[in-house]
């Protein structure tokens, strides 16, 4: 059986443990740069996946992540940050992690070999045609993750597979395969390094571009953020001032009236009542740019 590319041994690092710390760090740093650079050839495939995913999620579908070990934890981290950053609803997030929640903080390496558990997890999650599943595996051969993609695709969900090894089962199983060839690691098989970095950057790009496509970013700002602490409340006031030219007092009052939500607050500053602002946003799928354009047309 051919080993995945991520399991290869590089002759360059044969004496790694004998190097001085500065030399070691230089080599590891170069590997991290190479991991990010490896994403460039994958950008067209990522763009296609984002377009397809946005179409599903506009139908009120859910965004799901599947993985084991490092890859699974990277997926959970990406998804968990979508709420505070973009106000993505928690009930529209699904996490399929080999070994369950306990595996987030304690390795459950035997669980990744259980494709049968993957089938059961997908069944329990009730993934369907409006949903999007992103599966991650450095080797591209992890049975649990492959099983999740196969079951989700059979159920009609859109499937995106991110792997660091070519010609792998995960890429074959995914409707949108994303190959990021990072090659052998400095420490053979330690895919928390280059492969993990590439996966994290890929998800940063994927989810940020996806949320932008869904109208959760306006003029380069996080207009759907949840202002749950003083720092974020100050940011929301400043954001509203920048977007509307309102005074601090007017911006703060509009945000209070809008329950801390920037999008309706922008329209309130523009002269709408809260109910009118909410109705206009709903009419345009929550897209503030389109709502403002419609308001401008009216006036």
Whether residues 87 and 165 fall in one domain: yes
Q: Which residue has the higher pLDDT, 190 or 42?
A: 42
Q: Within a domain: residue 224?
A: no
Neighbours of 105 (CB within 10 A): 7
pLDDT tens digit sequence for 95-131 = 999 988 888 888 777 778 788 899 999 999 999 999 9
Answer yes or no: do 205 and 234 share one domain: no
Q: How would you label 5-42 residue by residue, b for 16+ Cβ within 10 Å and e otherwise?
A: bbbeeeeebeeeeeeeeeeeeeebeebbeebbebbeeb
DSSP secondary structure letters along 239-295: HHHHHH---HHHHHHHHHHTTT-HHHHHHHHTT--HHHHHHHHHHTTT-HHHHHHHH
d(CA 221, CA 291): 16
Give yes or no: residues 175 and 236 share one domain.
no
48 and 163 inside one domain:
yes
Catalytic residue among 3, 7, 81, 292: 81
Mean pLDDT over the full length of the chain: 94
Query: How would residue 152 be classed by pLDDT, with cut points 50, 70 and 90?
Result: very high
Question: How many DSSP H helices and E strands does the chain contain?
Answer: 13, 5
Q: Are residues 271 and 159 in the same domain?
A: no
Answer whether residue 148 is part of any domain: yes
CA distance 106 to 99: 9
> What CATH number has the domain bearing residue 258?
1.10.8.1080
Q: What is the pLDDT of residues 211-252, one digit of tens each?
A: 999 999 999 999 998 777 888 889 999 999 999 999 999 999
Given a cut of 80, is residue 154 above it in pLDDT?
Answer: yes
Q: What is the pLDDT of residues 2-31, one digit of tens each?
A: 788 888 898 899 899 999 999 999 999 999
Overall number of domains in the chain = 2
Torsion of CA 235, 241, 244, 249, to 10 degrees: 120
Q: How far is CA 191 from the centre of its chain?
A: 19
> Per-residue confidence at 42, pLDDT binned at 50, 70, 90?
very high
pLDDT digits (tens, 9 = 90+) for 75-92: 999 999 999 899 999 999
Q: Which of 207, 214, 210, 209 is nearest to 263 (CA)?
A: 214
Residue 134: give its domain's CATH number: 3.40.50.10490
What pLDDT does residue 1 have? 55
Q: Coil, helix or strand for 143?
A: helix
Question: Quick check: is 81 catalytic?
Answer: yes
Domain coverage including residue 143:
5-213
Query: Which of the listed residues 213, 239, 265 is the one where a domain comes to its end?
Result: 213
The answer on 108 and 40 residing in a single domain is: yes
Residue 7 per-residue DSSP state: G
Indicate whether 245 and 194 sit together in one domain. Answer: no
Does residue 112 carry a catalytic annotation? yes
CA nearest to 213, candidates 52, 4, 67:
52
Residues 199, 214: contact at Cβ < 8 Å? Answer: no
What pLDDT, on a 0 to 100 scale, did the predictor assign at position 247? Answer: 96
Lowest mean pLDDT among 32-46, 47-61, 102-116, 193-207: 102-116
256-298 confidence digits (pLDDT tens): 999 999 999 999 999 999 999 999 999 999 999 999 999 988 8
Does residue 225 fall inside a structural domain?
A: no
Query: Which pair of tokens denotes residue 211?
Result: 């949320």
Q: Which residue has the higher pLDDT, 114 or 58?
A: 58
Of the pLDDT bands very low, low, confident and very high (cuts 50, 70, 90), residue 72 is very high
Domain annotation covers residue 220: no
Sign for the CA dihedral angle at 169, 171, 174, 175 comes to negative
């Amino acid at each position: 059986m051919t080993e995945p590319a991520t399991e290869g041994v590089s002759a360059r690092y044969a004496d790694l443990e004998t190097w001085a710390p500065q030399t070691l760090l230089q080599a590891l740093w170069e590997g991290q740069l190479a991991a990010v650079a490896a994403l460039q050839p994958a950008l067209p495939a990522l763009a296609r996946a984002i377009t397809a995913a946005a179409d599903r999620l506009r139908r009120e579908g859910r965004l799901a992540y599947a993985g084991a070990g490092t890859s699974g934890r990277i997926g959970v981290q990406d998804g968990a940050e979508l709420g505070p950053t973009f106000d993505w609803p928690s009930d529209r997030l699904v996490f399929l992690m080999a070994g369950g929640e306990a595996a987030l903080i304690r390795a459950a390496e035997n669980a990744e070999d259980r494709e049968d558990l993957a089938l059961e997890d997908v069944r329990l999650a009730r993934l369907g045609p409006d949903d999007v599943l992103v599966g991650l595996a450095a080797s591209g051969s992890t049975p649990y993750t492959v099983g999740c993609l196969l079951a989700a695709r059979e159920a009609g969900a859109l499937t995106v597979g991110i792997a660091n090894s070519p010609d792998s089962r995960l890429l074959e199983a995914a409707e949108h395969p994303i190959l990021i060839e990072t090659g052998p690691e400095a420490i053979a098989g330690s895919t928390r390094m280059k492969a993990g970095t590439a996966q994290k950057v890929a998800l940063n790009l994927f989810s940020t571009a996806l949320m932008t496509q869904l109208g959760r970013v306006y003029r380069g700002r996080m207009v759907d953020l949840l202002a749950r602490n003083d720092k974020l409340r100050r940011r929301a006031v400043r954001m509203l001032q920048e977007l509307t030219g309102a005074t601090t007092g007017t911006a703060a009052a509009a945000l209070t009236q809008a329950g801390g939500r920037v999008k309706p607050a922008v329209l309130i500053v523009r002269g709408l009542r809260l109910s009118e602002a909410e109705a206009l946003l709903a009419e345009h799928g929550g897209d503030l740019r389109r709502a403002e354009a419609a308001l401008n047309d009216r006036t």
